[in-house]
């Protein structure tokens, strides 16, 4: 088997997806025998974009540099994989879409209480795009590998499949709940609890206990480590296929539908609570048109209402 | 006849399928604490259970697919490309 040239690029993200490759442990030897990593900002010192068969692109399009790098990757690679949640849905950088670029500059540079500079950088830093968008808004993408980061088992299967020329295992429709071992049972709980409140029962489903867990609306690309270790799912691998395909289904309504059947909490109250904390619950997916352009997705209105409530409470 | 498959490891035993099924296809197995298909022949393939199942542990086969007019077609094209 001759080695396959691979380019890896890193746009606006945290580098966790690159670390997921290292998490392959000894399996990485199998992959390294088969591929020849050319451009890879964390590993090699290749500045250009050599021709490659496979291109892995992680990160969202936040700055003009991101757009340029994405376009260069498309030109140099035969097959482009949107790798990780940021590339697939925009990821947490997508929270930038709740605010204008001016508001972001004000908070980060001009009125930042912890720095002495009040100037916005005008050189050496790439200008921002007007909004954050996922990779496929800029270049055509051949395959999508969501996850924050995708579990090494999924990365390995995808890489090996591509190297061997066989189609990798396509996404299953199962959610994070499918691997969580907590018992989902009906309870008498009548109010939503904050994640910081009390100690959750390790055997019982978070929804049954009144905690907002996103497991039932999130693709299983992680093997469910968070709920298995006492932490409610934060939805990092993005929404399930039924939410992405159908405009009338949404993260908040799907969670509310299930939670209201398990507890005594009314559905409307759950929807309202998720809207109130929408920056948290939509943090990984709000930049993708599949979520952000749903007609009922009004995150600016929700966050504004929440801010007004907060100010009112704290002025009294 | 519609075939229903329950991914037993995926089932969290929430009984939502038992509650929502209009034709009482499912039963709750108290011993295994999961749902079981008891009257498959009664299934009308409304897929309410598959949509509601929190784990996505229910799969149906051998039914007439009806086109949803309200689907996000742009995403449906991408769906096959998700790894």
> In terms of CA atoms, which chain A residue is nearest residue B28?
A185
Q: Which CATH class is domain A4-98+131-164?
A: alpha beta
Q: Phi, psi (5° rounding) for residue B64?
A: -80, 120
Contacts of A216 in chain B (CB under 8 A): 54-55
The pair of structure tokens assigned to A35 is 């591929």
Of A144, A186, A247, which is closest to B78 when you measure between CB atoms? A144
Residues 6+ apart with CB under 8 A from A190: A210, A263, A264, A265
With an 8 Å Cβ cutoff, are B81 and A144 in contact? Answer: yes
- Say what the pLDDT of residue A208 is: 96
The pair of structure tokens assigned to B73 is 């077609």
Is residue A1 scored above 60 in pLDDT?
no
Interface predicted TM-score of the whole assembly (ipTM), two decimals: 0.83
Say how far apart CA A246 and CA B68 lie, in whole Å: 9
Sorted by where each begins, the domain ranges of chain B are 3-79
Check: CB of residue A176 under 8 Å from CB of residue A216: yes
Contacts of A289 in chain B (CB under 8 A): 74
From the list B83, B75, B72, B80, the residue with the least C-alpha distance to A136 is B75
Matching CATH number, B3-79, of 1.20.1250.20, 3.30.590.10, 3.30.70.20, 2.40.170.20: 3.30.70.20
Min Cα–Cα distance to chain B from A285, Å = 14
Residues A4-22 have a mean pLDDT of 90
Task: List, as ranges, residues 31-50 from B with C-beta within 8 Å of A.
Answer: 33
Specify the higher pLDDT residue, A118 or B62: B62
Query: Across chain A, what does the average pLDDT equal?
Result: 90
- Say what the pLDDT of residue A29 is: 86
Of B54, B70, B76, which is closest to A216 when you measure between CB atoms? B54
- Say what the pLDDT of residue A316 is: 64
Contacts of A186 in chain B (CB under 8 A): 15
Residues A99-123 have a mean pLDDT of 87
> In terms of CA atoms, which chain B residue is nearest residue A221?
B83
Check: CB of residue A57 under 8 Å from CB of residue A87: yes
**CATH 3.40.50.700 residue window(s) in chain A:** 4-98+131-164
pLDDT for A128-151, tens place per residue? 999 999 999 999 999 999 999 988
CB pairs under 8 A between A and B: 103
Say how far apart CA A243 and CA A219 lie, in whole Å: 10
Lowest average pLDDT, out of A47-51, A117-121, B57-61, goes to A117-121
Please report which helix (H) or strand (E) contains residue B19, including its range: helix B16-20
Lowest average pLDDT, out of A57-66, A146-155, A270-279, B22-31, goes to A146-155
pLDDT for A14-70, tens place per residue? 989 988 888 888 888 888 888 899 999 888 899 899 999 999 999 999 999 999 999
């Amino acid at each position: 088997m001759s080695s396959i040239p691979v380019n890896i690029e890193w746009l606006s993200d945290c580098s966790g997806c690159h670390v997921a490759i290292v998490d392959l442990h000894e399996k990485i030897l199998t992959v390294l025998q088969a591929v020849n990593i050319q451009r890879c900002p964390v590993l090699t010192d290749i500045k250009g974009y050599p021709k490659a068969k496979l291109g892995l692109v992680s990160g969202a399009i936040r700055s003009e540099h991101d757009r340029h790098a994405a376009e260069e990757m498309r030109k140099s690679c035969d097959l482009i994989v949107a790798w990780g949640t940021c590339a697939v849905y925009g990821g947490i950088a997508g929270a930038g879409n709740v605010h204008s670029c001016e508001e972001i500059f004000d908070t980060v540079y001009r009125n930042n209480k912890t720095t002495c500079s009040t100037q916005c950088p005008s050189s050496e830093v790439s200008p921002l795009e007007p909004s954050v968008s996922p990779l496929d808004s800029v270049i055509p993408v051949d395959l999508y590998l969501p996850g924050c980061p995708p579990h090494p088992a999924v990365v390995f299967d995808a890489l090996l499949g591509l190297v061997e020329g066989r189609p990798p295992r396509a996404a299953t429709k199962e959610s994070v709940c499918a691997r969580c071992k907590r018992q989902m049972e009906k309870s008498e709980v009548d109010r939503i609890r904050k994640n910081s409140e009390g100690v959750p029962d390790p055997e019982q489903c978070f929804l049954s206990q009144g905690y907002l867990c996103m497991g039932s609306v999130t693709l299983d690309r992680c093997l469910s480590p968070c709920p298995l270790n006492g932490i409610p799912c934060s939805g990092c691998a993005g929404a399930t296929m039924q939410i992405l395909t159908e405009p009338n289904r949404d993260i908040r309504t799907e969670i509310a539908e299930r939670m209201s059947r398990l507890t005594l909490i009314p559905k409307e109250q759950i929807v309202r609570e998720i809207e109130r904390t929408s920056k948290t619950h939509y943090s990984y997916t709000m930049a993708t048109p599949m979520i952000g352009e749903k007609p009922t997705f009004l995150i600016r209105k929700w966050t504004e209402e929440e801010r007004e409530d907060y100010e009112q409470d704290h002025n009294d | 006849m519609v075939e229903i498959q329950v991914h037993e490891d995926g089932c969290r035993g929430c009984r939502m399928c038992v509650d929502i099924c209009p034709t009482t296809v499912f039963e709750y197995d108290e011993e295994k604490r999961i749902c079981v298909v008891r009257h498959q022949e009664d299934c009308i393939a409304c897929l309410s259970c598959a949509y509601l199942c929190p784990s996505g542990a229910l799969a149906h086969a051998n039914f007439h697919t009806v086109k949803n007019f309200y689907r996000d077609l742009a995403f449906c094209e991408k769906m096959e490309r998700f790894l």
